[in-house]
A and B are shown apart, each in its own frame.
Chain A
Amino acid sequence: MKTATEIDIRTEGQMARTHYLNVDLGVKSWLLTTDHKRIGILYLWTILIFFVIASVAAAMMRLELLTPQGDLVTNETYNKLFTIHGVLMVWFFLIPSIPAVLGNFAIPMMIGARDVAFPKLNLLSWYIFVAGGALALWSLIHGGVDTGWTFYTPYSTTYANSHVISMAAGVFVAGFSSIITGMNFMTTIHKMRAPGLTWFRLPLFIWSMYATSLILVLATPVLAITLALMSVERFWGVGIFDPKLGGDPVLFQHLFWFYSHPAVYIMILPGMGVISELITCFSRKQIFGYGFVAAASMAIAILGFVVWGHHMFVSSQSVYAGMVFSILSFLVAVPSAIKVFNWTATLHKGSISFQTPMLYALGFIGLFTIGGMTGLFLATLAVDVHVHDSYFVIAHFHYIMVGGMVMAFMGGLHYWWPKITGRLYPEFAGKLAAMITFIGFNLTFFPQFILGYLGMPRRYHAYPPEFQLFNVLSTAGASILGIGYLLPLIYFLWSLKFGRVAGPNPWRATGLEWQTASPPPKHNFEKTPVVTTRPYSYSAQEDADLNLASV
Chain B
Amino acid sequence: MDKFHLFPPEASSTAQQVDWIYFALTALTLLTCAVVFLPIIFFAIKYRRGSAADRSNPRVESILLESGWTIVPLVIFIGLFGWGAIVYFQIESPPRDALQVQVVGKQWMWKLQHAEGRSEINELHVPVGRAVSLTMTSQDVIHSFFVPAFRVKQDVVPGRYTSEWFKPTEAGEYHIFCSQYCGTQHSAMIGRVVVMEPVDYERWLNTGRPAESIALTGERLFRERGCSGCHSVNSKFHAPPLEGVFGKSSPLENGEIVPMDERYVRDSILLPGKEIAKGYQNIMPSYAGQLSEEEIMQLIAYLKSIGNQNPPDESK
Taking CB atoms, residues of chain B closer than 8 Å to A147 are 181
Q: Which of B32, B62, B87, B183 contacts A382 (CB 8 A)?
A: B87
Closest to A160 in B: B183
Q: Does B47 contact A (CB under 8 A)?
A: yes
Are B43 and A388 in contact, with the CB atoms below 8 A?
Answer: no
How far in angstroms is the closest Cβ of chain B from A43?
31
Given A292-B66, A351-B47, A541-B56, decide whether A365 and B159 contact each other with a Cβ distance below 8 A: no
Could you tell me the distance between the alpha carbons of A150 and B182 in the complex, rounded to whole angstroms? 12
Contacts A288-B60, A541-B55 given: A389-B180 contact, CB under 8 Å?
Answer: yes
Residues in B whose Cβ lies below 8 Å from that of A76? 184
Is there an interface contact between B1 and A457, defined as CB atoms closer than 8 Å? Answer: no
Interface range on chain A (Cβ under 8 Å from partner): 35 or more
Cβ of A366 under 8 Å from chain B: yes
8 Å CB contact of A322 from B33, B60, B73, B88:
B88
Question: In the complex, A353 Cα to B7 Cα: how many Å?
Answer: 41
Q: Is B188 within 8 A of A289, CB to CB?
A: no
- The yes or no answer to A333 lying at the interface (CB within 8 A) is yes
**When chains A and B are docked, how far (Å) is the Cα of A154 from the Cα of B33?**
42
Query: Which of A289, A389, A463 is within 8 Å of B144, CB to CB?
Result: A389
Query: Smallest CB–CB gap between B270 and chain A, Å?
Result: 9
Q: Contacts A338-B70, A468-B1 hold; do A362 and B44 have CB atoms under 8 A apart? A: yes
The segment from B78-86, B198-206, B298-306 found at the interface with A is B78-86
CB B164 to nearest CB in A, in angstroms, measures 9
Known: A376-B25, A385-B88. A330 touches B80 (CB 8 A): yes
User: Which residues does chain B contribute within 8 Å of A374, judged by CB atoms?
Assistant: 29
Name the interface size band of chain B: 35 or more
Shortest beta-carbon distance, A418 to chain B, in Å? 19
Contact mask A438-462 → B, CB, 8 Å, 1/0?
Answer: 0000000000001001110111111
Report how far A373 CA is from B175 CA in the complex, Å. 28
- Residues of A near B69 (CB, < 8 A) are 337-338, 341
Contacts of A158 in B (CB 8 A): 140-141
- B15-23, B96-104, B208-216: which lies at the A interface? B15-23
Chain B residues near A342 (CB, 8 Å)? 66
Among B34-42, B111-119, B127-135, the stretch in contact with A = B34-42
Q: Chain B residues near A341: list those with CB within 8 A.
A: 36, 65, 69
Q: How far is the CA of A423 from the CA of B59 in the complex (A)?
A: 35
A381 an interface residue at 8 Å Cβ cutoff? yes
Q: Do A283 and B179 have beta carbons less than 8 Å apart?
A: no
Taking the complex as formed, is A148 at the interface, i.e. its CB lies under 8 A from any CB of chain B? yes
Q: Do A159 and B155 touch (CB < 8 A)?
A: no
Tell me if B61 is interfacial: C-beta within 8 Å of chain A: yes
Query: Could you tell me the distance between the alpha carbons of A70 and B5 in the complex, rounded to whole angstroms?
Result: 23
Chain A nearest CB from B83 CB (Å) reads 7
The reply to whether A459 and B187 contact each other, CB–CB distance below 8 Å, is: yes
Q: Which residues of B contact A377 (CB under 8 A)?
A: 22, 25
User: Interface code A279-310, partner B: CB below 8 Å = 1, 0 otherwise?
Assistant: 00001011111111000000000000000000
Q: Roughly how many angstroms separate A330 CA and B83 CA in the complex, as a whole number?
A: 13
Q: Which B residues lie within 8 Å of A379 (CB)?
A: 80-81, 84
A486 to chain B, nearest CB (A): 28
B154 touches A79 (CB 8 A): no
Residue of A159, A354, A381, A461 touching B85 (CB-CB under 8 A): A381
- Which residues on A sit within 8 Å (CB–CB) of B4? 469
Quick check: is B313 within 8 A (CB to CB) of the other chain? Answer: no
B179: which of A249, A289, A350, A389 is its contact (CB, 8 Å)? Answer: A389
User: Given the interface contacts A330-B78, A337-B69, A381-B84, does A348 sit within 8 Å of B36 by beta carbon?
Assistant: no
Q: Is A118 part of the contact surface with B, judged by Cβ < 8 Å?
A: no
Q: List 17 A-B contacts (CB under 8 A).
A: A79-B181, A148-B181, A286-B58, A334-B70, A338-B70, A341-B36, A351-B49, A353-B49, A382-B83, A382-B91, A383-B21, A383-B84, A384-B84, A455-B146, A466-B1, A466-B2, A544-B49
Question: Which residues from chain A sit less than 8 Å from chain B, CB to CB?
Answer: 70, 75-76, 79, 146-148, 150, 152, 154-155, 158-160, 242-244, 248-250, 283, 285-292, 313-316, 319, 322-323, 326-327, 330-331, 333-334, 337-338, 340-342, 344-345, 347-354, 362, 365-366, 369-370, 373-374, 376-377, 379-386, 388-390, 450, 453-455, 457-466, 468-469, 540-541, 543-544, 547-548, 551
New contact pairs (17) apart from A154-B142, A159-B140, A383-B22, CB-CB < 8 Å:
A314-B155, A315-B157, A330-B78, A345-B65, A347-B39, A347-B43, A352-B47, A353-B48, A379-B81, A382-B87, A382-B88, A386-B152, A453-B22, A462-B187, A466-B3, A544-B49, A548-B52
